[in-house]
Structure 1
């Protein structure tokens, strides 16, 4: 039997292609022993059972092949809430919490705001918003039936009532339905971007990552459809690539949005753009 410390050290030596080898190993081992990373650091001398080590080693072998930790575990955390994840969904990322923060600020003081999340995936954005604003009328759209199944499960898991709609962006939302906020983290990577064939992105659904027109096709479609579904002074806000800020702001203006604003993430990169439509 190996100790926690020895098991982690062995795992780290196998994960030579990971930039976060020890962190990956700690997440996987913590899940195996049904504890947390703090426990691993507090009790490094604790011995693993043979069954625990076999399961951990299996997880490490999957990670060696490049499979994301979130898919191995079947869940990930976003906005301090637990979310089930599957290969049908993108893995919720910390930088996307900026969208949630901005939407919450936009609807601060507004009674029973109406919000729709386009391309919801795991439901992370919509569910986080509903969790913080139970009075909000929250809708979430995805074209993938598999993604919506996972999103519904996550809504139930976090005790949040969200209205789910299957379709391409706003195409299946009733024409007379209006929202105070449309929020989206759409595909924005160009199809020929080499990053798509590297690291965790190899395992995530391509349709949720890349878009035609240098990654701008879906952004343009959302901007066009959004005009028919915003209340007076409604706001459309979306995430995009760190190097797309100027182009996306121009697209907002071209499509008739006003008071267009870019918002930087914690790394100082252009990450979010918003605009009003009246």
Structure 2
């Protein structure tokens, strides 16, 4: 590809063309995404390297590399799928169609857990619906002495989570047979293990009382699919998105399963939709073994989380 003067395209020219193309296709953050994709396609360490190479002419081979990447984003494939990963609390998390892309707001669940578990020696943390494994990995790496169990009903998601655990130096241990209905467990040397199954039913009967339960379960109402961005509707697995008529089917199911499983005063931290906190607070009496503590806003000021505490 050449410009009007029949010279090879420069980095700056291809960046501007890509930005304009993304704008035409309705891509959010067209300049930022163009920067990420071009720097990734050219093998640069970061998008900041683009500014040091604006006048660099691109070879035909480099343009051939960039074209399909640009086309994928124009088709609204998520940027994280194209570049292959995202950052979650500074940990590199591989992303693909097997699991929901972890969102920045979700990082706050780990902050909440860290604060609530201060002074707790070797806490058992359970991350339900782990997806990419991002929450479980962050807890295992950041909460000293923690033992973390991650569950998911999707075998594909668990495979991705295991890959991410290994990539973040949580070495994959031997698989073991499980007496709890044939679920599969993979133990990890740093106190992280994965179970396949339905919410807390994936755990073996021998599991001790849980010191902290974290879950970012599907909470989008079934009827809202048409309102989702194409990046979500077309590329995130439906299993990780939709939670029934009002979005809370799986949350309610999980809360019921906590009976008899939580240590005294153990926190339960859930990510939910902004309109759902009031519903869950109103239904708190349905779970008399739990105390509804509060709803919590994310860093954007939106209600994003609710917390419960197990009664002693």
- How far apart are residue 217 of structure 1 and its match? 0.1
Q: Which residue in 2 is equivalent to 1:11?
A: 18
Choose which of 248, 257, 269 in structure 2 pairs with 1:237: 269
Given that 2:297 and 2:303 are in contact with CA atoms closer than 8 Å, whether structure 1 keeps it comes out as yes
Matched, 1:149 2:159: yes
Q: Which residue in 1 is equivalent to 2:83?
A: 73
What's the CA shift string for 1:63-84, capped at 9, x where partnerless? 1111111111221111111111
Choose which of 168, 171, 174 in structure 1 pairs with 2:198: 168
Instruction: Give secondary structure in 1 for the equivalent of 2:194.
Output: strand
Structure 1 segments, 4+ long, off by >6 Å, are none
Given that 1:30 and 1:36 are in contact with CA atoms closer than 8 Å, whether structure 2 keeps it comes out as yes
Given that 1:191 and 1:215 are in contact with CA atoms closer than 8 Å, whether structure 2 keeps it comes out as yes
Matched, 1:137 2:137: no
CA distance in 2, matches of 1:69, 1:136: 33
Q: Name the larger-Rg structure.
A: 2
Pair 1:37–1:253, CA change in 2 (3 A):
farther
What's the CA shift string for 1:170-224, capped at 9, x where partnerless? 1121234221001000000011104555321121001101011310100101111
Matched, 1:275 2:308: yes
TM-score, normalization by structure 1: 0.95
* Runs of 5+ consecutive residues of structure 2 not aligned to the other structure: 1-7, 171-189
- How far apart are residue 134 of structure 1 and its match? 4.2
Q: Which residue in 1 is equivalent to 2:221?
A: 190
RMSD after superposition: 1.5
CA distance in 2, matches of 1:253, 1:49: 66
Q: Structure 2 matches for 1:235-274, cutoff 5 A? A: 235-256=267-288, 257-274=290-307
Pair 1:176–1:28, CA change in 2 (3 A):
same
Choose which of 2, 15, 21 in structure 1 pairs with 2:30: 21
TM-score, normalization by structure 2: 0.85
Pair 1:136–1:180, CA change in 2 (3 A):
same
Choose which of 144, 169, 180 in structure 2 pairs with 1:159: 169
CA distance in 1, matches of 2:264, 2:115: 18
Given that 1:223 and 1:252 are in contact with CA atoms closer than 8 Å, whether structure 2 keeps it comes out as no
* Runs of 5+ consecutive residues of structure 1 not aligned to the other structure: none
Given that 2:295 and 2:305 are in contact with CA atoms closer than 8 Å, whether structure 1 keeps it comes out as yes
Pair 1:248–1:3, CA change in 2 (3 A):
farther
Given that 1:117 and 1:182 are in contact with CA atoms closer than 8 Å, whether structure 2 keeps it comes out as yes
CA distance in 1, matches of 2:162, 2:34: 30
CA distance in 1, matches of 2:88, 2:284: 28
CA distance in 2, matches of 1:54, 1:252: 57
Number of equivalences: 278
Instruction: Give secondary structure in 2 for the equivalent of 1:112.
Output: coil
Given that 1:226 and 1:236 are in contact with CA atoms closer than 8 Å, whether structure 2 keeps it comes out as no
Instruction: Give secondary structure in 2 for the equivalent of 1:263.
Output: strand
Instruction: Give secondary structure in 2 for the equivalent of 1:261.
Output: strand
Q: Which residue in 1 is equivalent to 2:9?
A: 2
- Which has more helix, going by share of residues? 1
